[in-house]
């Protein structure tokens, strides 16, 4: 009965499909132990995605997030006997006002945890489409290497200020680049920043998600790539599993490949957010539990996914 710490629904995300309840029902049908609801935080008008521009205002996008939390609480209660539902959100890190939004959300609502992610560099989305990625690259100086450096610098600031309990798709920046399957080590300035960021995460006790959506999108490895995982392990780093699903058909997809990657990386334990464990971080309702990989591989879940 594995775990996912990252999901979106078409009910509350313009580039996803299906309702929140349908996502949970599918996770139950596939035998998940834990499934996390982590919709995106609201953004200012200048950071709307194309699918939001014609249907939302700043006010309606903020209300959509409020509605998500209301529905998440309802769904969690309805299915509490069948699956562990975690309520969180996925952060952004775009401009100074983003931090104000996150602080307000944390102050006004109660969460089990949240997913700390970076989807923008120089205010351009770097995983939405190639055109936006190229604008970010040009703003960084015109090369993937410079953009990678700026991405990991931005990520460092997010990690330093927010200290998210789970760090989302650590090396997302490679998705639309000309170096989709590189291992970064040949880029000295980039690798130095990666090591700095990993050290920070390990120091405050954060967990990296092993995100199978990279496999779904055609990458050779999930996020983060093998050298990053192995470096984090040597720092005492910990990992959690995620499918980053955006519709019911993506729930648990490529999890067998993710499991194989976990074993190849030398990960011996997988962590998961657990509402029955007291959090060391007083901002959140849930702490972490863990399962040995040798136990994980024996679960009947693997007969239900592909």
Contacts of 93 (CB under 8 A, 6+ apart): 99, 117, 118, 120, 154, 155, 157, 158
Mean pLDDT of 204-226: 97
State the pLDDT at residue 305.
67
CATH code: domain of residue 284: 3.20.20.140
Residue in 102, 82, 84, 83 with CA at minimum distance from that of residue 92: 102
Measured CA to CA, the distance from residue 103 to residue 121 in angstroms comes to 21
Beta-bridged to residue 37, according to DSSP, are 87
What is the domain extent for residue 41?
A: 3-303
* pLDDT confidence band for 47 (50 / 70 / 90): confident
Average model confidence (pLDDT) across the chain: 94
pLDDT of residue 7: 96
Residue 40 confidence (pLDDT): 94
Per-residue pLDDT reduced to its tens digit, 284-296? 989 999 999 999 9
Rounded mean pLDDT, 89-110: 93
| DSSP 3-state of 186 | coil
Q: How many CB atoms lie within 10 A of CB 219?
A: 16
Q: Tens digits of per-residue pLDDT, 159-180?
A: 999 999 999 999 999 999 999 9
Q: Give the pLDDT band (50/70/90) at residue 306.
A: low
Indicate if the pLDDT at residue 304 is higher than 80.
no
pLDDT at residue number 255:
95
pLDDT top residue among 140 and 58: 140
Per the omega criterion (within 30 degrees of 0), is the bond before 257 cis? no
Q: For residues 165-194, b (16+ Cβ closer than 10 Å) or e, as one string?
A: bbbbbbbbbbbbbeeeebebeebeebbebb
The stretch 81-98 carries a mean pLDDT of 95
What confidence tier does 249 reach under pLDDT thresholds 50, 70, 90?
A: very high
> Number of folded domains in the chain?
1
Better-predicted residue by pLDDT, 51 or 70: 70
Evaluate if residue 15 carries a pLDDT over 90. Answer: no
Ranking 21-25, 80-84, 96-100, 236-240 by mean pLDDT, the lowest is 96-100
Judged against a pLDDT cut of 90, whether residue 46 lies above it is answered with no
Question: 100 pLDDT exceeds 90?
Answer: yes
* Residue 116 β-bridge partners: 167
pLDDT tens sequence across 128-162: 999 999 999 999 999 999 999 999 999 999 999 99
pLDDT: is 10 or 49 the higher one? Answer: 10
Residue 278: pLDDT over 80: no
Contact between residue 242 and residue 281 where contact means Cβ atoms under 8 Å apart: no
Q: Name the H helices within the chain.
A: 20-29, 50-53, 58-78, 96-108, 130-140, 144-162, 188-204, 213-216, 226-234, 255-265, 293-296
Q: pLDDT band at residue 14, thresholds of 50, 70 and 90?
A: confident
Residue 187 has what pLDDT? 96
* CA end-to-end span of the chain: 14
pLDDT tops 90 at residue 2: yes
Burial of 19 (C-beta count, 10 Å sphere; 0-12/13-18/19+): middle
* Phi and psi, residue 265, nearest 5°: -75, -15
For the chain, give the percent of residues with pLDDT over 90.
Answer: 85
Work out the average pLDDT over 215-232.
97
Q: Are 6 and 209 in contact (CB under 8 A)?
A: yes
């Amino acid at each position: 009965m594995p775990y996912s710490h990252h999901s979106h629904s078409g009910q509350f995300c313009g580039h996803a499909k299906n309702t929140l309840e349908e996502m949970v029902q599918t996770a139950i049908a596939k035998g998940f132990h834990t499934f996390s609801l982590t919709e995106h935080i609201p953004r200012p008008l200048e950071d709307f995605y194309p699918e939001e521009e014609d249907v939302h205002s700043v006010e309606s996008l903020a209300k959509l997030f409020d509605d998500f939390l209301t529905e998440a609480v309802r769904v969690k209660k309805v299915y509490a006997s069948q699956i562990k539902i975690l309520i969180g959100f996925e952060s952004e890190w775009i401009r100074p006002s983003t931090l104000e939004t996150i602080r307000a959300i944390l102050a006004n609502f109660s969460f089990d945890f949240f997913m700390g992610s970076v989807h923008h560099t120089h205010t351009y989305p770097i995983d939405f489409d190639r055109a936006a990625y190229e604008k970010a690259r040009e703003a960084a100086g015109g090369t993937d290497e410079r953009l990678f450096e700026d991405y990991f610098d931005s990520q460092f600031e997010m990690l330093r200020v927010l200290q998210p309990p789970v760090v989302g798709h650590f090396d997302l920046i490679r998705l639309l680049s000309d170096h989709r399957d590189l291992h970064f080590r040949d880029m000295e300035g980039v690798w130095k920043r990666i090591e700095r960021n990993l050290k920070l995460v390990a120091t405050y006790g954060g967990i990296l998600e092993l995100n199978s959506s990279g496999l779904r999108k055609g990458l050779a490895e999930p996020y983060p790539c093998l050298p990053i995982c192995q470096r984090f392990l040597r720092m005492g780093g910990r990992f959690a599993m995620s499918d980053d699903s955006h519709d019911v058909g993506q729930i648990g997809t490529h999890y067998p490949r993710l499991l194989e990657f976990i074993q190849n990386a030398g990960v011996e334990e997988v962590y998961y957010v657990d509402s029955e464990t007291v959090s060391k971080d007083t901002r959140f309702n849930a702490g972490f539990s863990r399962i040995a990989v040798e136990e994980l591989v024996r679960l009947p879940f693997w007969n239900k996914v592909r």
